[in-house]
Amino acid sequence: MVVDKKKRYFPNLNGIRAIAATLVVFHHLEQAKHALGIANVYDMPIIQHAGRLGVGLFFVLSGFLITYLLLEERGRFGDVDAKKFYLRRVFRIWPVYFIIIGLSFFVFPHIPIFDYPGIEEKLTVDLPERLTLLLLVLPNFAFVLYDLPYWCAQTWSIGVEEQFYYLWPWLIKYPKRRIPIFIFFLALTAGLLYLGLEMVNPSEETRKSMITTFLGQFRIQTMALGGLCAWLVYKDKTQILNFVFRKDIQIAAYAIMLALFFSGVHFFGFLEVYAVFFAFFVLNVSCNPNTIVSLGHPVMNHLGKVTYGLYLYHVAVIVVVINLFEMYAPGWRGAGYQAVLYVLSFIGSVAVATFSYNYIEKPLLAYKDRKFGR
C-alpha cells in the first residue's frame, strides 16, 4: 500500500554542515603549517581530532538525510528508484569532485603558488594507478594504497560516502534481503582492497598499516547510525524521541561531548562514541522543536549551503594563502600573522566555495531535481 506522506523539511541542517566543515578547515590549516615549518598547534589532541570529528559529523548527517529521503520515497511511491537515486548523487557529487582532482593533477603542479612539500612523488610514482582509482570514484582506496597530492587528499571521505550510497538504497529497497546484500557489499569491498594490496605488494608491516588506515576511514557504521536516527523519526518512535528531546538530557549530553572534545581524550573506539553524540545532536537540532541549540543564523545557513565546495577547495586555498605570505611577507610571524592567516584562509575558502555553488553546483542541483527528483 502506498502512503501519500508529504515531504518533510529539516531545519538547521546547514548549520550542522557549517560546524563540521569548520572543524575540518581548522585541522587542515594547522596540518599545513606543521608541514611547512610554521608555528602551529597541530600536535594538540583537539586539533588532531577536529578533522576526523568533522568528517564523522558529516557522515552521521549524511546517513540521517539519505536514509530519511529513501524511506520517504518508499513510503510515497511504494518503491525506491535506484537509477534516479544514483543520478541525483552523480550530479551532486561528481562535478566538483572531478574538478578538484583535475586541478590537483594537471593545473596546481604547474603554478608555484600552489607548491607543497612531497607533491612531486605523488604526481609521478604510480600515477596511472592513482588516477584510475580516482576516476572510478574510489579515492579512499587511492589514499590508502598510493597516497594523494595534498590538495585533494581530503577526497578520501567522498569515496566512503559513495560506497555507502552503493549499499544503502538496496537495503531500503529490499529490506527482506538485507543480509545477503550486506554480505555481498562487504565481500566486494574486501575483494577490492585485497586486489589493491596485491598490486602494491607492500611489506607485511606496511600492509597491516594500510588495512588499519582503510578500516579506520571506512566508517559505514557511523552513517548507519545516522540512518537509525532517520528511521526513528520516520517511524515516529515517540517514546525514544521524547527521551532524547528532554531538555535535561540535552544539557547532560552536550556537556559530556564538549568535555570530551576539549580534554582531547583519545581511547579505543572514541570516534564511534562521538558518533553517538553527533546522532543525538542531529536528532535534536533538526527534529526537536524545543532544542536548546539553534543553528538558523543566515551566516551558518550560507556556510552550510556551500559546504561541499568548502570541504573540497579549502586545502588548496590554505596552501595559496600560506605561500603568498611566504613570498611577500617572509619574516612576518606572531599572533597577528596567525590571526590573519586564519581569517584569509577561511574567507578565501568560503569565497571559492560560494562561486562554485552559484555557478557550478546550483545549476546542476536544479537540473537533477527537475530530471531525477521524485
Residue the block writes with cell 577490492: 192
Domain, as residue range, for 280: 13-173+219-372
pLDDT at 5: 55
Return the axis-axis angle of helices 204-217 and 178-200, rounded to nearest 10°: 140
pLDDT digits (tens, 9 = 90+) for 255-295: 999 999 998 888 888 899 999 999 999 999 999 999 999 99
Average pLDDT, the chain: 94
Q: Let me know if residue 266 belongs to a domain.
A: yes
| Pick from 36, 151, 64: nearest CA to 102 | 151
| Pick from 349, 356, 273, 341: nearest CA to 38 | 341
Distance in angstroms (rounded) separating the CA atoms of residues 347 and 341? 10
Q: Let me know if residue 3 belongs to a domain.
A: no
Q: Let me know if residue 209 belongs to a domain.
A: no
Give the total number of structural domains in the chain. Answer: 1
pLDDT at 289: 94
Q: Let me know if residue 214 belongs to a domain.
A: no
Q: Let me know if residue 206 belongs to a domain.
A: no
Q: Let me know if residue 359 belongs to a domain.
A: yes
pLDDT digits (tens, 9 = 90+) for 53-78: 999 999 999 999 999 999 999 999 99
Distance in angstroms (rounded) separating the CA atoms of residues 96 and 239? 42
Amino acid in position 146:
Y
State what percent of residues in the chain have pLDDT above 70.
98
Q: Let me know if residue 302 belongs to a domain.
A: yes
Alpha-helix runs per DSSP H in the chain: 13-35, 45-77, 82-106, 119-124, 127-135, 139-146, 156-173, 178-200, 204-217, 220-234, 238-244, 247-263, 270-287, 298-305, 307-328, 335-356, 362-372
Which cell numbers hold the place of 330? 617572509
Distance in angstroms (rounded) separating the CA atoms of residues 112 and 110? 6
Question: Which residues touch 17 (CB under 8 Å, ≥6 apart)?
Answer: 58, 61, 303, 304, 307
pLDDT digits (tens, 9 = 90+) for 151-189: 999 999 999 999 999 999 999 999 999 999 999 999 999
In this prediction, the residues of the chain whose per-residue pLDDT falls under 70 are 1-6
Q: Let me know if residue 188 belongs to a domain.
A: no
